[in-house]
Amino acid sequence: MTDMTPIKTPAEQALSRAFGLAAPTLPGDAGVKSLREAAFGAFETAGLPHRRVEDWKYTDLRVLMREAKPLAAPPTADDIAAAKDAGAAFATAGARRLVLVNGSFVAELSELAGLEEGLTILPLARVLGEGHPLSSRLGSLAPQGNAAVDLNTAFMADGVVVHVAAGVKIERPLLIVSRHVGAATADVTRSLVVVEDDAALTLIESFEGPDGVDYQTNSALELSIGRNASVELIRHQAEGESALHLHTLMAEAGAHATLKGCTLTTGAAVSRQQAALALNGDHIVAALRGTTLLRGRQHGDTTLLVEHKGTHCESRELFRTVLDGTAHGVFQGKIIVAADAQKTDGRMASNALVLSDGAEMDNKPELEIYADDVQCGHGATVGALDEELLFYLEARGIPEAEAAALLIQSFVGEIIDQVENEAVRDALMAGVMRWLAQRAGTPQARG
C-alpha cells in the first residue's frame, strides 16, 4: 500500500493562497500571529472536512464548499449605505445595535454612545491592533481540529468584543448584526463576549444578506460566563438563499451561572451551526434550544457538544427542525459527563417535522457518561404532519394549507416561546411566519 497524499481541492488551494497573501497584514501581536499560524497549519494538514470525518459525516464541506470566495474588503460608503436597515427585524426589541458589514465593524451604523456603566464594546480589529488585554482571551475556548474554527482563527480580523464588568446587569439587549452586501466574498467575523461574575447580558445575533449571491460567512463567538452570571443568547440566521454559513459558539460557564440560548435558522443554502459548551462549575443551568426551517434544497446542520465538568448542573438541549422540498436537516448532539460531574441532569431532544417525501433528516444524539450518579437522556423523532390533526382543523373550516401552517407554527412556537423578551419572541415568530408565507407562495402571511 502506498501512502496517499490527498489532492487539494480548488477551495483548499485558494484558502492557502489567501492566507499567504493576507497573513502579513492581518492584525494582532506575536501571540495572535502564532495562534493564526497554528490554526491555519492545522487546517492545511486536515483540509476541508468530508464525510469520512465523523463530526462532518452529514455535512461534507469538501463537496458543499466547491470554491473559497475572496476575503471581503472593508465596506465602501455604498456598502454601508446599503446596510442602513441592518437588524430591522429586531427593531422593536429596543436593542443596542452593533453592525458588521461583510465582516467589518461599522461604527457609523452602531450605537456606541451612552454605554451603560461597566459595559465595554470594542471592534475586534482595535482589540487586536492595540494588543488590548482582552485579546489574550481569544482562542482559549477553541476546540481542536475543527476546520470552521481553524479557518476563523486564521483569518479573523474584525468582530465585536464585549465586556460586562462583575455585578453589572445590562438590561438593554445587544444586537450584533452581520450583514452581507454586494458581490460574493468570504466574510469572517470573530466576536468575544466576556460576562464577569454576577453580571447579566442578553445578546442577539442576526445574520442577513441578499438572495442569489453565493457569499460565505464564517462567524465565531467566544462567550465566557462568570460565576453566578446570566446570559440569554438569541440568534436568527436569515442569510440569503445562496449563502454558505458557518457559525461556531464556544462557551464556558462558571458555577451557578445561567445560559439560555435560542436559535432560529431559516437562511443559507448550506449552513452549520456548532456549539461547544463547557459547564466548568457546579450548579449551572444551561438550555440551548433552537428551530430550523428549511425548504428547497437547503442544508442545515446543528452540532452541539455539552461538557458537564461540575456537579449538580442541569442542561437542556431541544431542537426542532421543519423540512420541506428536498431539504436536508442534521442534528448531532453530544453530552459528555465527566467522572466527577455527579448529580448531572442532562437532557437532549431533536424532533423533526418532514413535510415532503424528498426531505431528509439525520439525527445523532449521543451521551458519554463517566459519572455514576446522573440523570441523562436523549431522544430523536422524525415525523410528518399528523393527518388526524389536520382533518380535525379542516373539519372546522380551516383550509388544509392554513391548517398545516398552524401546526408548523405550534411545533416551532414551543421553542420560541421560551425566549424571555416578548419583542424578541415576536421578531423570531415573524421570521417563522415569513418562512410559512414563502412556503405557501403568498406574499403575506395571515395574522
Partner 1 sequence: MLEIRNLHAEVEDRKILNGLNLTVSAGEVAAIMGPNGSGKSTLSYVLSGKPGYTITDGEVLLNGESILDMPPDERAAKGVFLAFQYPMEVPGVATMTFLKTAMNAQRKHRGEPELTTPDFMKLVKAEADALFIKQEMLRRPVNVGFSGGEKKRNEILQMALLQPKLAILDETDSGLDIDALRIVSDGVNRLRRADRAFIVITHYQRLLNHIVPDSVHVMSKGRIVRSGGKELALELEANGYRDYQDAA
Contact residues toward partner 1 (CB under 8 A) are: 387-389, 391-400, 402-403, 406-407, 409-411, 413-414
Q: How far is the CB of 392 from partner 1 (least distance, A)?
A: 4
Report helix, strand or coil for 115: coil
Q: How far is the CB of 387 from partner 1 (least distance, A)?
A: 7
Q: Where are the beta strands (DSSP E) in 63-171?
A: 96-101, 104-106, 119-123, 160-164
Q: How far is the CB of 291 from partner 1 (least distance, A)?
A: 12
Q: How far is the CB of 444 from partner 1 (least distance, A)?
A: 15
Q: How far is the CB of 232 from partner 1 (least distance, A)?
A: 22
Q: Between residues 389 and 423, which has the closer beta carbon with respect to partner 1?
A: 389
Task: Kindly report the length of the chain.
Answer: 447
First to last CA, the chain: 65
Q: Between residues 98 and 412, which has the closer beta carbon with respect to partner 1?
A: 412
C-alpha to C-alpha distance for 15 and 47, rounded to whole angstroms: 10
Q: Between residues 114 and 397, which has the closer beta carbon with respect to partner 1?
A: 397
Q: Between residues 44 and 426, which has the closer beta carbon with respect to partner 1?
A: 426
C-alpha to C-alpha distance for 346 and 351, rounded to whole angstroms: 17
- Closest by alpha carbon to 70, among 220, 243, 186, 197? 186
Q: How far is the CB of 404 from partner 1 (least distance, A)?
A: 12
Q: Between residues 231 and 428, which has the closer beta carbon with respect to partner 1?
A: 428
219 in Cβ contact with 246 (< 8 Å): yes
Report helix, strand or coil for 142: coil
190 in Cβ contact with 220 (< 8 Å): yes
Q: Which three cell numbers stand for residue 82?
A: 446599503
Q: Between residues 178 and 351, which has the closer beta carbon with respect to partner 1?
A: 351
C-alpha to C-alpha distance for 400 and 59, rounded to whole angstroms: 34
